[in-house]
Chains A and B, each alone.
Chain A
Amino acid sequence: MVFSGPEPTDSFPPATQTISQLEWLSQLARPLDRAAALVIDGIVLSALLGLTTSRAQYGVELSRLLNDLTQLKFEIWVLVIVGVLTMFLYQLTQWSLFGRTIGQRVVGVEVVNVFTGQSPGLIESATRSLFWWLDLMFLLPNLGIFRDPLRRPFHDRVSNTIVISRRRFGPRPHRRERRASELVTATIISTLTWVSLAILSPENRWIMSTVGARGADLDCQSVEEVKDSLPEDQDMSELELALVLYTAGKVDLKCVDQASRKAAREMPKDPLVRFARSLSNSSEAELSNEYLDKVCEFGAQSEVCQLSKAYDEISQGRSESAIKRLRSFSSRAPTYVLLLASKQLERLGQFEDVHRLLNAVVPFPEIEDYLGQLGVSALWGLERDSEARVLFQASLPRFSSRENRVRFASWMCRMEMDRACAGTQQLPCQRFHREILGDSTLLSDEGIGLTHLVHERCSHQAPDRLGRLARFSGSVNLMDFTEALADRDPISRREKLLDLISDSKVSAAVRSEVFQILLAEDASSSIEEKVDLFWSVAQLSDWYWRSAGLSVARAIARQKDFGKLASFVGQWKDRGGLPSSLRTLDSQPNVRLPASRGSRK
Chain B
Amino acid sequence: MIFPILDGLLSAARAPITWILFLLNLGVHVIVWPQVQINREGLREIYNSDSFLTATGERYAEFIRKHPEIYSDRFVRRLGHQADSGDREIHLKLGEIALRDYYFANANAKSRNSASDGDPILSLFHGEREKSIREIQTLEPSRWLGVSHDQSSLERLMTFQFIHGGFSHLFGNMVLLLLLGSFLESRIGSASLGLSYLWGGFLGGATYIGFSPITNLPLIGASAGVSCLMGLSVALAWTSGIRVFYLWLPVQRYVGFTQLPSWVLFLYWFIPDLSGVLKTVSELGGVAHWAHVGGVLGGLLLGVWFRFALAAGAASDASRGPGSEGSELSAA
Asked if B88 contacts A51 (CB within 8 A), the reply is no
Chain A residue at minimal CB-CB distance from B267: A47
* Binary flags per residue of A27-43, CB closer than 8 Å to B gives 1, else 0: 00000100110011001
Whether B87 is near chain A, meaning CB under 8 Å from some CB there, is: yes
B58: chain A residues at CB < 8 Å are 261
Contact of B278 among A55, A62, A283, A284 (CB under 8 A): A55
Contact of B86 among A32, A57, A262, A274 (CB under 8 A): A262
Interface band, chain A: 35 or more
**Of listed A48, A281, A290, residue having the most chain B CB within 10 A:** A281
Whether B188 is near chain A, meaning CB under 8 Å from some CB there, is: no
Asked if A284 contacts B49 (CB within 8 A), the reply is yes
B332: chain A residues at CB < 8 Å are none
Asked if A36 contacts B93 (CB within 8 A), the reply is no
B120 → chain A, closest Cβ, in Å?
6
* Binary flags per residue of A212-243, CB closer than 8 Å to B gives 1, else 0: 00001011110000000000000000000000
Whether B20 is near chain A, meaning CB under 8 Å from some CB there, is: no
Chain B residue at minimal CB-CB distance from A2: B258
Asked if A264 contacts B119 (CB within 8 A), the reply is yes
Whether A73 is near chain B, meaning CB under 8 Å from some CB there, is: no
Interface band, chain B: 35 or more
Asked if A220 contacts B258 (CB within 8 A), the reply is no
Asked if A62 contacts B281 (CB within 8 A), the reply is yes
B260: chain A residues at CB < 8 Å are 3
Q: With A43-B2, A54-B278, A268-B118 known to touch, is A258 a contact of B51 (CB < 8 Å)?
A: no
Asked if A218 contacts B275 (CB within 8 A), the reply is no
Q: With A3-B260, A66-B79, A281-B51 known to touch, is A36 a contact of B275 (CB < 8 Å)?
A: no
A343 → chain B, closest Cβ, in Å?
23
Contact of B125 among A1, A55, A266, A290 (CB under 8 A): A290
Chain A residue at minimal CB-CB distance from B86: A258
Q: Is the interface of B mostly helix, strand, loop or mixed?
A: helix
**Of listed B58, B254, B278, residue having the most chain A CB within 10 A:** B278
| Distance of A43 Cα from B1 Cα, bound (Å) | 7
Q: With A65-B75, A66-B78 known to touch, is A219 a contact of B249 (CB < 8 Å)?
A: no
Q: Is the interface of A mostly helix, strand, loop or mixed?
A: helix
* Binary flags per residue of B66-96, CB closer than 8 Å to A gives 1, else 0: 0000000001001100100111111001000
Whether B148 is near chain A, meaning CB under 8 Å from some CB there, is: no
Whether A510 is near chain B, meaning CB under 8 Å from some CB there, is: no
Whether A455 is near chain B, meaning CB under 8 Å from some CB there, is: no
A54: chain B residues at CB < 8 Å are 274-275, 278-279
Contact of B118 among A220, A265, A284 (CB under 8 A): A265
Asked if A58 contacts B280 (CB within 8 A), the reply is yes
B246: chain A residues at CB < 8 Å are 1
| Distance of A291 Cα from B122 Cα, bound (Å) | 9
Whether A67 is near chain B, meaning CB under 8 Å from some CB there, is: yes
Q: With A66-B78, A219-B87 known to touch, is A291 a contact of B121 (CB < 8 Å)?
A: yes
Question: Which residues on A are within 8 Å of B, measured CB to CB?
Answer: 1, 3, 32, 35-36, 39-40, 43, 47-48, 50-51, 53-55, 57-58, 61-62, 65-67, 107, 197, 216, 218-221, 254, 257-259, 261-262, 264-266, 268-269, 274, 277, 281, 283-284, 287, 290-291, 294
List 28 A-B residue pairs with CB atoms under 8 Å apart, sorted by A's residue number.
A3-B261, A32-B253, A39-B249, A43-B2, A47-B272, A47-B275, A50-B272, A51-B271, A51-B275, A54-B279, A61-B279, A61-B280, A61-B284, A62-B75, A62-B281, A65-B281, A197-B278, A220-B86, A254-B88, A254-B89, A257-B54, A261-B119, A265-B118, A266-B118, A268-B118, A268-B119, A284-B49, A284-B50
Question: Which residues on B are within 8 Å of A, measured CB to CB?
Answer: 1-2, 49-51, 54-55, 58, 75, 78-79, 82, 85-90, 93, 117-122, 125, 246, 248-249, 251, 253-254, 256, 258-261, 264, 267-268, 271-272, 274-275, 278-281, 284
